[in-house]
């Protein structure tokens, strides 16, 4: 049966000292390699579990902070959408104001000389246009390229009857007698193109054809109405494209953001900023009357106010989220620093310990060698 080896007291003492040194050497080497003085619960139960709890909370908050960052991007996308809609509404308002101006314009042509409504038509034409017209004469009116209307006048016609014929030719023109100038005036509504063909000189032009009024290029109410509706159509498209990761704050999608590990939330209420959502009656308009144009101008003003109010609300939400995100980041740093104070090793101190232990280990090995030499001296007595 094997028995324990008996070591001398000096050898055993040196051996134990060397073993302790090696254990400290291993511990110091581990601290330097991991950067931690507490690597497991065996190194310090209280510090280990307290640090773990702090780091776990920091990790949870980091995930929430990421969510806040994504919510901020969602708000920024909505803000970009509002900016685009504001530009479109401003453009629509400008178009409506142009139409209002165009609807107030009247294009007209008048006779070259004064006359009197008490005259017969033939007498009026002779006096007004300085021509010895025959008792029967004509001129032809066409409006906006439509069919022509022949206006007849003779000695039996009154001036009013001639003006009535002209007015009846088209709803876009009106013939009146100007009592201030004593001249006949033919007026066309804004955007109306009136063509007059005469068999002799009248209404200030030589025999032939003359055109007065707007040709409709850029100032026609009808064209402006079409432009306005194009803007409305684009508004109904662009508000749908302001989403981020499936959430569109200007298309009715509310956003809920969790701000702490206790599930406290911040709800960002959405809006639906399509054409009707911002205050317009519809995406199509009928500008047949000036009052309808006034309505569109008023609605554009309401839409701008709605967009600005919505943007202001989102700006407040963005400010709150930015503050919460910054605060959460600072809390994370505080938690991680606190955990580090409990478990992190001092690399400077551990480096110094390693050098000391290396010296101590070398000295321990030498001391063990010297103690063993005493045993060798006894062995020499048997030789």
Mean pLDDT of successive 10-residue segments in the chain (383 residues)?
A: 59 70 72 76 84 91 94 95 96 91 64 53 49 50 76 69 82 78 71 64 47 47 89 95 94 93 90 95 85 92 96 94 94 91 74 72 67 61 58
- Tokens 């001391």, residue located: 367
- Tokens 């109306």, residue located: 192
Query: Quick check: helix, strand or coil at residue 37?
Result: coil
pTM equals: 0.62
**What is the DSSP annotation of 314-374?**
HHHHHHHHHHHHHHHHHHHHHHHHHHHHHHB--HHHHHHHHHHHHHHHHHHHHHHHHHHHH
Q: Across the beta sheet with 148-153, what order do the strands follow? A: 148-153, 137-143, 193-198, 208-213
Measured between alpha carbons, how far is 76 from 82 in angstroms, rounded to an integer?
Answer: 10
| Contact between 198 and 229 (Cβ < 8 Å) | no
Cα 210 off chain centre by:
52
Measured between alpha carbons, how far is 351 from 127 in angstroms, rounded to an integer?
Answer: 121
Return the beta strands (E) in the chain as ranges. 106-110, 137-143, 148-153, 173-178, 183-189, 193-198, 208-213, 255-258, 265-268
Q: What is the model's pLDDT at position 324?
A: 94
Measured between alpha carbons, how far is 49 from 339 in angstroms, rounded to an integer?
Answer: 10
């Amino acid at each position: 049966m094997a028995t324990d080896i008996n070591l001398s007291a000096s050898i055993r003492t040196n051996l134990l000292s060397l073993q302790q040194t090696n254990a400290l050497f291993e511990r110091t080497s581990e601290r330097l390699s991991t950067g931690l003085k507490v690597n497991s619960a065996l190194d310090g139960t209280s510090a280990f579990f307290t640090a773990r709890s702090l780091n776990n909370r920091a990790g949870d908050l980091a995930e929430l902070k990421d969510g806040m960052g994504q919510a901020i991007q969602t708000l920024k996308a909505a803000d970009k959408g509002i900016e685009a809609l504001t530009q479109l509404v401003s453009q629509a308002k400008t178009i409506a104001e142009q139409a209002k101006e165009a609807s107030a314009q009247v294009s007209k042509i008048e006779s070259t000389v004064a006359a009197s409504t008490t005259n017969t038509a033939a007498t009026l034409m002779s006096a007004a246009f300085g021509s010895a017209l025959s008792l029967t004469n004509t001129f032809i009116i066409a409006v906006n390229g439509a069919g022509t209307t022949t206006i007849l006048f003779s000695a039996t016609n009154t001036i009013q009857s001639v003006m009535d014929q002209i007015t009846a030719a088209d709803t876009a023109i009106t013939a009146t007698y100007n009592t201030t100038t004593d001249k006949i005036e033919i007026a066309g509504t804004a955007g109306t193109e009136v063509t007059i063909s005469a068999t002799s000189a009248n209404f200030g032009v030589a025999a032939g054809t003359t055109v007065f009024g707007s040709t409709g290029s850029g100032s026609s109410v009808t064209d402006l109405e079409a432009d306005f509706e194009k803007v409305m159509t684009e508004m109904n498209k662009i508000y749908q494209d302001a989403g981020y990761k499936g959430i569109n704050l200007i298309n009715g999608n509310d956003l809920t953001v969790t701000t702490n590990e206790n599930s406290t939330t911040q709800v960002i209420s959405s809006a639906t900023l399509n054409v009707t959502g911002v205050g317009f009656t519809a995406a199509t308009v009928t500008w047949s009357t000036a009052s309808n144009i006034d309505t569109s101008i008023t609605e554009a003003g309401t839409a701008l106010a709605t967009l600005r109010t919505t943007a202001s609300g989102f700006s407040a939400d963005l400010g709150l989220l930015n503050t919460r995100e910054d605060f959460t980041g600072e809390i994370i740093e505080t938690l991680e620093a606190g955990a580090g104070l409990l478990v992190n090793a001092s690399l400077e101190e551990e480096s110094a310990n390693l050098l000391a232990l290396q010296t101590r280990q070398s000295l321990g090995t030498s001391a063990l060698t010297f103690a063993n030499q005493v045993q060798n001296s006894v062995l020499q007595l048997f030789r």
